[in-house]
Amino acid sequence: MLKEGQKSASSHNLSGLLGINAWQIRKDFSYFGAFGTPGVGYDIEKLVKQVKKILKLNEPKKAALIGVGNLGSAVMSYAGFGIYDFNIAAAFDINPKKIGRKISNIRIEDVSNLQVLKKQKINIAIIAVPREAAQQTADALVKAGVKGILNFSPCHIKVPKKVKVITIDIAMDLARLPYYMPAG
Amino acid sequence: MLKEGQKSASSHNLSGLLGINAWQIRKDFSYFGAFGTPGVGYDIEKLVKQVKKILKLNEPKKAALIGVGNLGSAVMSYAGFGIYDFNIAAAFDINPKKIGRKISNIRIEDVSNLQVLKKQKINIAIIAVPREAAQQTADALVKAGVKGILNFSPCHIKVPKKVKVITIDIAMDLARLPYYMPAG
DNA sequence: CTATGTGAATTTATTCACAGCA
DNA sequence: TGCTGTGAATAAATTCACATAG
């Protein structure tokens, strides 16, 4: 809406766009203060700024990718991170044939060098390694000072409480569909 | 655990493995009946069978992929669907250069031919097209009789109530991390 | 003795309904 | 008149605690 030059949006506008009830949107916003103007709606520019601040997205962030296989490569060239000011600034793999190659202008490093993340002040990582290697990769990331992990491996990963993991299990999400579908 | 030849598991075993409280696991199972043996735990083979039945995963399923770009190609060659007896049996794209090519032994078809899904009795689809094309792709899928959609486009998709959509927004999931991370 | 299954208690989330502001 | 913000009401999910079965 910002890009389309729109100035304000009501909770009902947002509702239609997001598939969330209008009262839910208002209630959620209200927990963080009052951003809107009664009778008008929400000033879009202001709203974006507020929400980014709440979600701690108010400054550019760098992330590292571990595992440059099919999925990792796709993630690397995915264009959608920019909207949240994210940038994949480092890539790692265990395969000697891949190390040294470039992908999206980033040199693929040896996964045993994860410690460089500390120097580069990258504290967010994306795990796109096989399931068997996921836990040990996470352990190494934690050692390297990473505080947030997006995990594409189909398994639960154990980390210290200070570290946040969000797991995306593609196959499981696909497998959730039949439950909601009519028999046949 | 089944593959490792284990026979039974307690809710505490599962808890450690899944990162879910033991009582939550027991309560969740109990909503669908009693599968366990007090003093012993759950018979793994039986449990898997029961859960697959509940989730309607007790027979092999075919899915179609729409959009064979970076992400689509990665999804196509992703090995993880087999565990749920899923098989990607058709692929579509809008790019004439891609149509006719093969990927994972599947011929890429023209997206304007989505109607063939009806004949092939495929009622689950994966959307991996750019955001701008997502809604129209979903509309075409619904027309072709699809009842379940896994949507990788970063947008909410409107479909009739009878159709289930699960959206995976990779960038949004990455962007959720900073909120939970310590300041710095 | 161990581990399930489940009522009851507690906590959390959603929905309603409307006062009040532009 | 239109839309926000929010207390109150309702609904849902989680957690506890323990009777009960192997």
As to burial, measured by CB atoms within 10 angstroms (0-12 exposed, 13-18 middle, 19+ buried), residue B135 is middle
pLDDT tens for residues A116-158? Answer: 999 999 999 999 999 999 999 999 999 999 999 999 999 999 9
Q: Do A182 and B71 touch (CB under 8 A)?
A: no
Q: How many residues does chain B have?
A: 184
CA B40 from centre of chain: 32
Instruction: Check CB contact of A156 with chain B, cutoff 8 Å.
Output: yes
Tokens of B29: 């199972």
pLDDT given for residue B184 in this prediction: 62
Q: Which nucleotides of C are covered by protein (CB under 7 A)?
A: 1-7, 14-17, 20-22
3-state SS assignment for residue B164: strand
Name the nearest CA neighbour of A165 among A132, A139, A130: A139
Query: What b/e readout covers A108-142, taking b as 16+ CB neighbours within 10 angstroms?
Result: bbebeebeebeeeebbbbbbbbeeebbbebbebbb
Cα(B109)–Cα(B123) distance, integer angstroms: 17
A167, A157 Cβ separation under 8 angstroms: yes
| pLDDT grade for A184, boundaries at 50, 70 and 90 | low
Closest chain B residue to the Cα of A153, Cα to Cα: B80
Judge if the beta carbon of A184 is closer than 7 A to nucleic acid strand C. Answer: no
Residues of A in contact with B146 (CB under 8 A): none
Query: Can you tell me which residue has the tokens 């793994």?
Result: B44
A103, A72 Cβ separation under 8 angstroms: no
Rounded (10°) angle between helices B11-18 and B22-30 = 110
A181, B148 Cβ separation under 8 angstroms: yes
Mutation target vs B (from A177, A179, A180, A181; most B CBs, 10 A cutoff) = A177
pLDDT tens for residues A61-92? Answer: 999 999 999 999 999 999 999 999 999 999 99
pLDDT tens for residues A11-51? Answer: 999 999 999 999 999 999 999 999 999 999 999 999 999 99
Residue type at B34 in one-letter notation: A
DSSP state of B154: S
Strands (E), chain B: 8-9, 42-43, 61-66, 86-93, 102-103, 106-110, 124-127, 148-151, 164-167
Cα(B11)–Cα(B20) distance, integer angstroms: 9
Query: How many other C-beta atoms lie within 10 A of the C-beta of residue A19?
Result: 13
Spatial strand order of the sheet with A36-37 comes to A8-9, A41-43, A36-37
SS (H, E, C) A137-181: HHHHHHHCCCCEEEECCCCCCCCCCCCEEEECCHHHHHHCHHHHC
Q: Do A171 and B78 touch (CB under 8 A)?
A: yes
Query: Can you tell me which residue has the tokens 């990927």?
Result: B103
Q: pLDDT of chain B along its 184 residues, tens only?
A: 999 999 999 999 999 999 999 999 999 999 999 999 999 999 999 999 999 999 999 999 999 999 999 999 999 999 999 999 999 999 999 999 999 999 999 999 999 999 999 999 999 999 999 999 999 999 999 999 999 999 999 999 999 999 999 999 999 999 999 999 988 6
Tokens of A138: 């996470």
Residue type at B68 in one-letter notation: V
Nearest 5°: CA angle at A181, between A177 and B3?
45
Residue type at B26 in one-letter notation: R
Cα(B93)–Cα(B100) distance, integer angstroms: 10
Q: What is the pTM of this model?
A: 0.97
Cα(A146)–Cα(A162) distance, integer angstroms: 10
Cα(B128)–Cα(B152) distance, integer angstroms: 5
Sign of CA dihedral B26, B32, B34, B36: negative
Give protein residues whose Cβ lies within 7 A of nucleic acid chain D: A 9-12, 22-23, 26-27, 29-30, 34-42; B 21, 23-24, 26-27, 37-40
Strands (E), B7-58: 8-9, 42-43
Residues of B in contact with A77 (CB under 8 A): 70
